[in-house]
Structure 1
Amino acid sequence: MIEFFFDCSSPWTYLAFHNIQPLADEFGETIAWRPILVGGIFNAINPSVYAQRDQPVPAKAAYMKKDLADWARAAGLAIRMPPRVFPVNSVKAMRGCLWLDRERTSAMLPFARAVFEAYWGADLDISQDAVLHEICLRLGVDPDEFLAGIAAPAIKQKLKANTDEVMARGGFGSPTIFVDATDMYFGNDRLPLIRLALARRRASAA
């Protein structure tokens, strides 16, 4: 099984979210989607992310923008970097993923995809209720039930628990991906290594 710990506020996570699904299908793997709040991780164990934002290295920042554009082009995705609101508060969206996973399992994945597309493709502020309301309507989810559901203490606690868990298992950002519980990978550019790990496992089982 593949575990995919993710926050929709990351462009690299959007790429990995898109790219890992056909990879999992190729190897007959199921994906456990694990929403987290990456800001909580940065606050707790990885504050260097904020320092890099406050004092960026111009040459590195320019290359990272090109690198992201190259990866997005390869994936066939539109990613605007930076969006008008960056970083964005994704807590409602990530709680929404958990609520939909709990109440309507089939709706979580389309919702996460729609949130990624709204923020990184359409440059919409996913922290706003109006944006989430529109996404819900398009997916056939009752927006009022959604907004009430994501305020439930159990959903808030689940998001915190997922975030705490990935840190306890060695994660420090999004996306953090595990193969068979203990084999950890970080980032979209590690997917070729995940492919090799799955191929090795398939060969050893043959």
Structure 2
Amino acid sequence: MIEFFFDCSSPWTYLAFHNIQRLAKECGEPLSWRPVLAGGIFNAVNPSVYASRESPIVPKAQYMLKDLADWARSAGLAIKMPPTVFPVNSVKAMRGCIWLGGGMVPFATAVFEAYWGEDKDISQDAVLTNICKKVDVDPEEFFRGISEEAVKNQLRANTDEVIARGGFGSPTMFVDKTDMYFGNDRLPLVRELLERRMAQSRSACNSAP
């Protein structure tokens, strides 16, 4: 089982969200989607993110943009960094993922694409309404659902949980509950782990009497 803690406001999460689906399918590994608020994580355990935005190290920031573009090209995704509105308040979108539950993937995909690919402000109700219509979700039910206390509480609980388990940003991934990986660039390590485990399983089957 791969747990994927994510916030649609992160560019690296946009890439990882796309890439991990293919990885999990190829390795036959189930995915558990865990929406969180990256801002809540940063406030609690990683405030240096804000400082780096206010006073970026120019060569590092320039390289980050190149690195992001390279990874996006590798994934076959369009990305604009930074978007016109950055950072963005993603709380309504992430509550929407919670409310949709097992059906969240098409919605989350559309949110990622709207923000990172089309430069749309996903904090705006009009943008979220159009996304809902795109993925056949009733907008009125959506906005009613994301106002429910149970939905708000679950998003907070997911955020608190990933912090308690050692996470410090998005995307944070766990394999089998305890093996943590952070960031799109760690996916090759996740793949190696799963492929190694698959090989060990095959070897055990072949050696069985």
Normalising to structure 2: TM-score of the pair? 0.96
The one of 122, 126, 135 aligned to 2:122: 126
* Shift, 1:11, TM fit: 0.5
Aligned pairs (5 A) from 1:2-81? 2-81=2-81
Residue 156 (structure 2) pairs with residue 160 (structure 1): yes
How many residue pairs are counted as aligned between the two chains? 202
Where in structure 2 are there 5+ consecutive unaligned residues? 203-209
Letter in 2 for 1:139: V
Residue 95 (structure 2) pairs with residue 109 (structure 1): no
Q: Deviations over 1:47-91 (max 9, x none)?
A: 000010011001000000000000000111000000000000000
RMSD: 0.6
User: In 2, distance between residues paired with 1:182 and 1:197?
Assistant: 13
Q: Deviations over 1:101-155 (max 9, x none)?
A: 1xxx33x100000000000000000000000001111111110110011010000
Q: Which runs of 4+ in 1 moved over 4 A?
A: none
Higher-Rg structure is 2
Residue 157 (structure 2) pairs with residue 174 (structure 1): no
User: In 1, distance between residues paired with 2:136 and 2:60?
Assistant: 42
Tell me the residue number matched to 1:185: 181
User: In 1, distance between residues paired with 2:117 and 2:27?
Assistant: 29
* Shift, 1:202, TM fit: 1.1
Where in structure 1 are there 5+ consecutive unaligned residues? none
